Amino acid sequence: MTVKISPTQIKQSTYLLIPKDIADMIDVDKNTKFSLKLKPNGKHHVLEYEIQ
């Protein structure tokens, strides 16, 4: 499933927010830990998050 999201900027940080229905579907809460991998894909990068 592909979901398009826009970054949210607060002060000098930029965040990618998880839509609530997606967070509920995969049981994400404030204590959930993620790891992030940046994968080159031609001129772009793929951000891959994994729940730990």
pLDDT at 2: 82
Does residue 9 lie within any of the structural domains?
no
Place of tokens 């940080």: 13
Look up the domain containing 40 and give its range. 18-51
At residue 3, the pLDDT reads 85
- Tell me how many domains the chain contains: 1
Strand partners, 41: 44
Q: Are 18 and 28 in contact (CB under 8 A)?
A: yes
Is residue 4 domain-resident? no
Q: pLDDT truncated to tens, each residue of the chain (52 aa)?
A: 788 999 999 999 999 999 999 999 999 999 999 999 999 999 999 999 999 9
Look up residue 41 and give its amino acid: N
Q: What is the 3-state secondary structure (H, E, C) of 6-34?
A: CCEEECCEEECCCCHHHHHHCCCCCCCCE
Question: How high is the pLDDT of residue 26?
Answer: 92
Distance CA 9, CA 11 (A): 6
